[in-house]
Structure 1
Amino acid sequence: MLTRKIKLCHINAHITCRLCEGYLIDATTVTECLHTCKSHLVHVHYANEVTSDVLVLFSHDRTMQDIVYKLVPGLQEAEIKKQREFYQKLGMEVPGDIKGELCNMKTHLDQRNGDTKSEDTANKEAGEEKPEEDNDYHRSDEQVSICLECNSSKLRGLKRKWIRCSAQATVLHLKKFIAKKLNLTSFNELDILCNEEILGKDHTLKFVVVTRWRFKKSPLLLHYRPKMDLL
């Protein structure tokens, strides 16, 4: 199979920030899919005193960031090192997401370099790193405030309907949470709605906020009810 090599300079225009002219770090999508560095977007936002509603349009673009890291050799390693040094210099604890990226990067480099470890050694290291991961519980993720209301007389309301969780949580997670609190036999018996529209179980809360609650104030209002058979 023929392969064609492309020089990095030929695609730099697509993976660099137009504000700082550096490679995209923490790639962020704004309306009409314009990519740039999140830190520079926020800087411009405050420098120009833009209305706070604009910040709602910011969305982390993981796909773009993964592409940049794969195309530019050593960029991810250098960026994580800078972030760790920054937090250590200020005497602050390194956020959990940076620790996770560092572990994933180390595993990837070991596999690429052919560094094969024994199963016992790998399990031991995993056991040592697990407490750090467990202490985070996705608290370092972007958070979403939610109000869960019941709109059916067949189900009771939650005692604590206000919750705050990771933006990466899905509608399925909410179904399981509600089913557990209401002692239901199966979470599949529930429908969760936003603006009277049934949400797909794989939708993340970030997706729901951006597509159905973009210009509305927090918290995100969701309703739950017994599942309805449409056929």
Structure 2
Amino acid sequence: MAGGTRASDKNAQLVHLNELNPFLTCGICKGYLIDATTITECLHSFCKSCIVRHGQFYLNCPTCNLQIHPTLPLLHCKLDSQKQDIVFKLLPNIYKNEQKRRKLFWKEYQNKTGEKPVQVPMLGKSPRKKKKVLIQPDPLASVVLEYVGASEGLENYDFEPVVKNYIRVEAKATIENLQNFIHKTMNLDKTFEVNIFCDASIVDKSSTLQYIREQFYDGEDCIMLLQYGVIDPRDYSDDSDVEDQWENEEDMVYTPSGLRYHDEAMEEFSSDITEEMNSIQEMNDLSLTGVV
């Protein structure tokens, strides 16, 4: 209708820029994002130059202190072009000023060194490709997550397992990625941790799903079963040897009644076998005497 107001305009809501600032600013320099880079583990964003300098000395996120990567934090930092586009559309002057600053920097660099600088794409532009490159997608892994319970001392907590327990992710994803996913999905307190098992053995958090597929499934592209449990590491803070959070993870086995220590499970199994053998012997003795 000419001269009328569209329905989308009626439902539009004005938002002050200062309400969006926490999502558009860098957590390190506190300025608006330039070359926005997001940590894939916690989704906090920073300027690329800021997080690169931070990653040279620290392994944790500057905002939430979550470990980005055990050794190479920049592996889990990805350029976030969508968020950067939002910043430039809301603040066009930021884009213009950054363009001028970069051009001035390279001009001064060339005058000072006499060398022709390496051509670096400006903001909003990508280097021109000479030929098309076919990028093969990363292999995927299918996983079913099974909740096996919580460690001793957490019986009073009503933990809700992951409802959608079938996932399909990149095979290069690590066990630590799954631990973070389970932790957030179950909405666990920060004091609790998640341990993941495969074939009744604790899996190291740095192991990838591809490694598990090769070690436990002969490299076959099948649905892998991973079991997980919740622990409170504070219960083991006084132990001298706490490399494994279940006190002795290698001694833990999964039984139909839940997680049990290996010695305890074997003792119970041996006792059941002994009773069964005694019962059979009694039946044989009775049959020999003609009672049965």
TM range (shorter): 0.3 to 0.5
* Structure with the greater alpha carbon radius of gyration: 2
**Which TM-score applies when normalising by structure 2?**
0.36
**Which TM-score applies when normalising by structure 1?**
0.44
Higher relative contact order (CA 8 A, sep 6+): 1
